[in-house]
Structure 1
Amino acid sequence: MSQKQKTIKNEITLSGVGLHTGNKVTMTFKPAPVNHGYAFVRVDLEGEPVIEASADYVVNTQRGTNLEKRGVHVNTSEHVLAACVALGIDNISIEINAPEPPIMDGSSKHFIEALEKAGIEEQDADIEVYVVKDVISYKDEESGSEIILMPSDEYQITTMVDFGTKVLGTQNATLNSLADFKEEIADARTFSFLHELEMLLDNNLIKGGDLNNAIVYVDKEISEATMDKLKKAFNKESLTVKPNGILDNLTLRWANEAARHKLLDVIGDLALVGTRIQGKVIANKPGHLVNTVFAKKLRKIIKKEKRNNVPTYDLNQPPLMDIHQIMDVLPHRPPFLLIDRIIELSDKHVVGMKNVTMNENFFVGHFPGAPVMPGVLQVEAMAQCGGVLVLSTVPDPENYLTYFMKMDNVKFKQKVLPGDTLIFKAELISPIRRGICHMQSYGYANGKLVVEAELMAQIAKKPKE
């Protein structure tokens, strides 16, 4: 049984400060429709621009995963996104009135609590899960950071961290199920080393930091001047270094809290892939850069596999519609009727077929010595399949004609030759309204994708004779 997509039942608002700006931030989680995914909305800017949580929009990974779309930024997105992934939320709108979400206590705890309070509900659409079948990996040769994704029965993550410092040492953390995230990972807070903190303070960053939302590992001697800077930045009269090397009196929630937070970051960064993942992640020395580069690589792999996911059908079975039934629906006639069968038809998709023979009218003039089916006719054949889909929505299709309105992102991948069997699949991008059909179409032959296009067509009443 397929799982359903989920969103939240009610909107809910949190307030806090941005880690790097120090400005007060209000963030509101709102329900979103099916197939919406995760998206940030900058309500403080004119037009309330939307930035989808996509690896395609990552522009900077210094001190967080920062997104930009058309000049609009959202910074340190990972803690919020990790909470959404952990709770199985597929669609949500995240409105913020600043460039970054509130840091809260530096973990995902408060986001988890808010989303649970808002309630989670199923939606009327199946979820899309990328099931890992082969090992996928990426290694940054300069830093030695590496991420490996391998097959598994569910989404699992292991992180191993080693910053080459005595104070932190080598740590690892494992999450065997997202169901355990709330108890085992959500409370893990962000951390920094003293030498990093000095640089941030010198550059007027980390204005919203305090000793309650960032663990500071003291990896060097603290000068009196640095101590004064820290006291001023954190609004403290005195600071100390604990025997375990942690600044001030903050108590670690786990001995391996740093590794757990890195695991949290991995989940948040891989949310930018844009689909649920079924596989085991092993991340050695992860960081936002390697995480997001891997997310981009995985996103491309998924997109390519989806394009090349050739549907299989038993062509020996009686079709849903034969050529005569197709001609009852479509106004086209030979030699310009370019589909022979309809194999599947629903309110959202259609699958059709064409046998390409040497007797095709167009082969007479289209390279008769080396016949190739013209690409424009492949697109026309896909459009005719779409015509069947849109005409199936009216009770009297024989009284309508279909017209092209637009075609975008047309790509021809392979030659179509005499003897090929073409399978066309068209899926609605948006619901049919006012007779307008907007669809993503694919054509396959010999187990390969040969053509794809985004098409828009409209049906109109036949003119009276």
Structure 2
Amino acid sequence: MSEKQKTLKQEFVLKGKGLHTGKEVIMTIKPAPVNTGFVFVRVDLEGQPTIEADAAYVTSTERGTVLEKKGVKIHTCEHILAALTGMDLDNVYIELNNSEPPIMDGSSKFFVEAIEKAGIVEQEAVREYFTIKEIISYTDPETGSEITAIPSDHFEVMTMVDFGTKVLGTQNATMKNISEFKDEFSNSRTFSFLHELETLLDAGLIKGGDINNAIVYVDKELSEETLEKLKAVFNQPEVSVRPNGILDNVTLYYPNEAARHKLLDVVGDLTLVGVKLKAKIIANKPGHHSNTQFAKKLNKLYKLFKRKNIPEFNYDQQPVYNINDIMRMLPHRPPFLLIDKIMEIDDKHIIGIKNVTINEPFFVGHFPSEPVMPGVLQIEAMAQTGGIFVLENVEDPQNYSTYLIKLDKVKHKKKVVPGDTLILKIDLLEPIRRGIVHMQGYGYCNGQMVVEAEMMAQVVKTKD
């Protein structure tokens, strides 16, 4: 069954400081219509400009992911995006009266809790997925970060971190299903090493940081000068180091909290692909740069995929109609029955499959030395799939037939040969009126469109 898109039942408001700007910010998360995606809205600026959560708008990844569109920026967007994806939402407006969402406790916990309290509702439109069918990788030669997507029937993530320090060591984290995000990963806080913290302080960043919204791993000797800086920025009379090498006033939720937070970041950054993924993501030493570069790569591949309009489904799933069901609905019989199963059907489209084998009788003469499926039979296969689409809504389909009455804009783009799987997609162009059906048909093989045509057919009752 197709999954529906989701949005919030009602809006909610969160207030806090931005991690790097230190400015107070009010964030209002609102429901959005179908196919909106996640959209940031700067309500503090004239015209309330918007920035879509799209990898194409990533301009910086220094200590967080920054989006920029027409000079308008959103800093540190990854934690709120991780929460939205982790809670399985599709369409949301994120209104901000400043450039950076509130850091809260450095995790996605408070965002997730607010989403849960606001409630989630299904929408009418069907959710789209980008199903990874082959291994796709990105490697950052400077840092050694590597992120890979391998085929999977759902979204899962594995992160491995190794910063070459004794205080943190090597850590792994695995999320087998997005349903685990809320309880196992959303409360994992951001972290930093002491030497990085000093650099950030000197650069005037992390103005919104305090001792409770970041884990600080002390990887060097704590000098008196640094100690005084930390007291000031964290507004604490005393700062010390725990036996586990972490600054005090923070207790780890998990021994591998750093790896879990890196996983949270991966979920947030890959939200910028712009579509739900069906893939297993393996991230070795992930960082915002490698995450977002990989998101850009997947984003481009998905947009290319969308332009091709290739149907997505699991070949191993149970068909909606098998060959016996089809023969109960259509009058055609071998060797002129040219569809093997129906994989998907709703009130606006249908997807069927024809497995093309060398045993097809037409290959005997078309052509003996170079077997090619005749173009007219590809059209016939589309027409038969359209016939199933029409008759599926008739109470007694065995008493009706569907006849082609017009073909238009027919294009053959690639050969169909033995061994190919011909995927047939039919879209209804207009509501069915007086038995006249106007459809657009497409045929795909090996990830490419091979045939297309507009078809008009008439449904006729053949038996009383």
Task: Say yes or no: TM over 0.5.
Answer: yes
Q: Could you tell me which residue of structure 1 aligns to residue 379 of structure 2?
A: 315
Task: Give the drift of 1:249.
Answer: 2.7
Q: 2:30 touches 2:92 (CA, 8 Å); kept in 1?
A: yes
SS of the aligned residue for 2:95 comes to strand
Instruction: Give the AA of the match of 1:107.
Output: S
SS of 2:44 mapped into structure 1: coil
Counterpart CA distance in 1 for 2:288 and 2:446 is 41
**Alpha-carbon distance change, 341 to 262 in structure 1, aligned in 2, over 3 angstroms:** farther
Aligned-pair identity in percent equals 59
* 1:297-312 correspondence to structure 2 within 5 Å: 297-309=297-309
Distance 1:451 1:227 in 2: 70
Distance (whole Å) between structure 2 residues aligned to residue 194 and residue 446 of structure 1 = 52
Conserved 8 A contact 2:429-2:440: no
Preserved CA contact (<8 Å) 1:58 1:65: yes
Secondary structure of 1:315's match? Answer: helix
Matched, 1:26 2:82: no
1:120 paired residue number: 120
Instruction: Please tell me whether the aligned partners of residues 191 and 258 of structure 1 are also in contact (alpha carbons under 8 angstroms).
Output: yes
Residue 90 (structure 2) pairs with residue 90 (structure 1): yes
2:191 match: 191
Q: Does 1:354 align with 2:410?
A: yes
Equivalent residue number for residue 296 of structure 1: 296
Change (3 A) 1:3 1:222: same
- 1:155 corresponds in structure 2 to 155
2:445, 2:152 → 1: CA distance? 32
Instruction: Tell me which moved more, 135-144 or 260-269.
Output: 135-144
Over residues 34-78 of structure 1, what are the superposed CA-to-partner deviations in whole Å (9 max), with x where a residue is unaligned? Answer: 000001000010100000000000000001000000000001000
Structure 1 match to 2:13: 13
Between stretches 204-213 and 301-310, larger displacement belongs to 301-310
Taking the aligned partners of 2:61 and 2:406, their CA distance within structure 1 comes to: 51
Q: 1:257 matched to which residue of 2?
A: 257
Matches within 5 A, 1:184-263: 184-263=184-263
TM-score, with length taken from structure 1: 0.71
Question: For the structure 1 residues 444 and 99, does the alpha-carbon distance in structure 2 shift closer, same or farther, using more than 3 Å as the test?
Answer: same
* Offset at residue 279 of structure 1 (A): 1.1
After TM superposition, the runs of 4+ consecutive aligned structure 1 residues lying more than 6 A away are: 392-395, 442-447
Mapped to 2, the partners of 1:424 and 1:122 lie a distance apart of 29
1:407-422 alignment, distance < 5 Å: none
- Report deviation, 1:446: 11
Q: Does residue 174 of structure 1 match 2:174? A: yes
Corresponding position of 1:428: none
Does the aligned pair in 1 maintain the 2:410–2:451 contact within 8 Å?
no
- Cα deviation, residue 355, structure 1: 5.9
Q: CA deviation at 1:246?
A: 0.3
Counting matched residue pairs gives 355
Aligned to 2:53: 53
CA distance in 1: counterparts of 2:446 and 2:130, whole angstroms: 24
- Cα pair 1:215 1:247 within 8 Å, conserved: yes
TM-score (structure 2 length as normaliser): 0.71
Q: Is contact 2:212-2:249 (8 Å) kept?
A: no
Judge conservation of contact 1:55–1:272 (CA < 8 Å) in 2. Answer: yes
Does the residue aligned with 2:379 lie in a helix, a strand or coil? coil
SS at match of 1:29: strand
- Aligned CA distance change for structure 1 residues 299 and 446 (closer, same or farther; 3 Å): closer
Q: RMSD between aligned alpha carbons? A: 2.9
